[in-house]
Amino acid sequence: MSTNGHSHSAPPILLTISGFDPSCGAGTAADLKTFAAHGCYGVAAITSLTVQNTQGVETVHNTPSAELREQLGVLAKDCEIAAVKIGMLGNRGNAVVVAEFLDAHRIALVVLDPVMKSSSGAELLDAGGIKFVSTELLKRASVITPNVPEAEVLTGLTIKDVADMEAAARKLVEMGAHSVIVKGGHMERAVDVLLDGNEMVQLGGDRVKTENNHGTGCTFASAIAAQLAAGRSLFEAATLAKAYVTKAIEKGYAIGKGRVPLDHFYRQKIEPLARGTHEVPQHGMHPAAEPTAH
């Protein structure tokens, strides 16, 4: 029972540490939608305010590290966080703050999506940040989910096929990662490679027109965090997350002139509001709008 008199027990509370995308297809908004779609409550610490729409990222304004530290501090003081999903960090200073936060709070489930560039090519993590992620932050994650270009940057390997993806996953574990999923969305076949401890598994999948979509990586990592918080194994969590993302891509619809975001709520069948005039309910209106008594 909570202290404020409400007896409803809270679902798992998941924290996203990520950049904000004003078009809400990727980043913080995609993470929060994914958490909600999985029956979890999402809280967020914003690492960066990006200026972007569906057509691409124009500029990036990273949150000062001290402000990010304060955001994380107030959340940790207030609620019990079941899992953390880390996305865009922006720079080394913010990556360091996140490492300090993870060390201080010992959160059991941490999904690290090592975002480095946007789909449109904008830099989302500086060189010092990349070095810190590869030497320090990946050791603090339960699972790291790089795509092929990110895995190449982190390991220094060239990845041309599934065997190369497996080699990169092994190298990341040698570098200190606990578990790795190398996402094959950039490859001919949409195969992901999962290395959980010593066991290597391929996660097959149907290629959906991913180059037309926005926020798939954020959504995949967030769905894994939600499934892990529900107590599932990494293999099960990744399999369910992949199925969710595939369906959300299929159901996506254009909201702008560029890339198509996912429909995170395809399971809920939320009906859009009917257009037209409606009676405005009289209760609860602002006193000035209430009919005056005579």
Q: Which amino acid is at 130?
A: I
* Cα 217 to Cα 68, 79, 174, distances in angstroms: 22, 26, 23
pLDDT in tens, 108-141: 999 999 999 987 788 999 999 999 999 999 999 9
Question: Any idea which of 5-19, 111-125, 129-143, 253-267 has the lowest mean pLDDT?
Answer: 5-19
| Confidence check: pLDDT of 42 > 90 | yes
116 close to 147: Cβ distance less than 8 angstroms: no
pLDDT for residue 276 is more than 80: no
Separation of alpha carbons 67 and 119, rounded Å: 27
What integer best gives the mean pLDDT of the chain? 90
Residue 34 pLDDT level (bands cut at 50, 70, 90)? very high
Q: Does a structural domain hold residue 18?
A: yes
Give a yes or no: residue 22 inside a domain: yes
153 three-state secondary structure: helix
Residue 203 in any domain: the answer is yes
pLDDT above 50 (res 2): no
CA angle 193, 132, 172 (to 5 degrees): 25
- Name the percent of the chain lying above pLDDT 90: 74
Is residue 5 in some structural domain? Answer: no
Task: Assess if residue 1 is contained within a domain.
Answer: no
Q: Render 43-55 in DSSP notation, one character per residue.
A: EEEEEEEEEEETT
Show the tokens assigned to 112.
């690290």
Which of these, 165, 131, 170, lies nearest to 148 by C-alpha position?
165
134 part of a folded domain: yes
Is residue 142, in this structure, part of any structural domain at all? yes
pLDDT of residue 32: 98
Structure confidence at residue 121 (pLDDT): 82
Q: Taking Cα atoms as reference points, which of 255, 283, 244, 276 lies closest to residue 37?
A: 244
| Residue with tokens 């198509």, as numbered in its chain | 260
- Tracing tokens 């809920």 back to the chain, one arrives at 268
Q: Look at the chain and report how many structural domains it folds into.
A: 1
Per residue in 170-203, pLDDT (tens digit) is 999 999 999 999 998 766 677 999 999 789 999 9
Among 115, 150, 121, 123, CA closest to 56: 121
pLDDT of residue 190: 76
Residue among 45, 13, 35 at smallest CA distance from 222: 35
Element containing residue 105 per DSSP (H, E): helix 92-105
Q: Is the pLDDT of residue 38 over 60?
A: yes
Q: What is the pLDDT of residue 4?
A: 57
| d(C-alpha 111, C-alpha 224), whole Å | 8
pLDDT higher at 224 or 198: 224
16 DSSP β-pair partners: 44, 85
CATH number, domain at 259? 3.40.1190.20
Task: Indicate the residue type of 175.
Answer: M
Say if residue 101 is exposed, middle or buried (CB neighbours under 10 Å; 0-12, 13-18, 19+).
buried
In a domain, 71, yes or no: yes
pLDDT (average), residues 278-284: 62
Domain hosting 147: range is 13-289
pLDDT bucket at 279, cuts 50 / 70 / 90: low
**Overall average pLDDT of the 244-251 stretch:** 92
Residue 294 pLDDT exceeds 60: no
Asked whether the predicted pLDDT for residue 91 surpasses 50, the reply is: yes
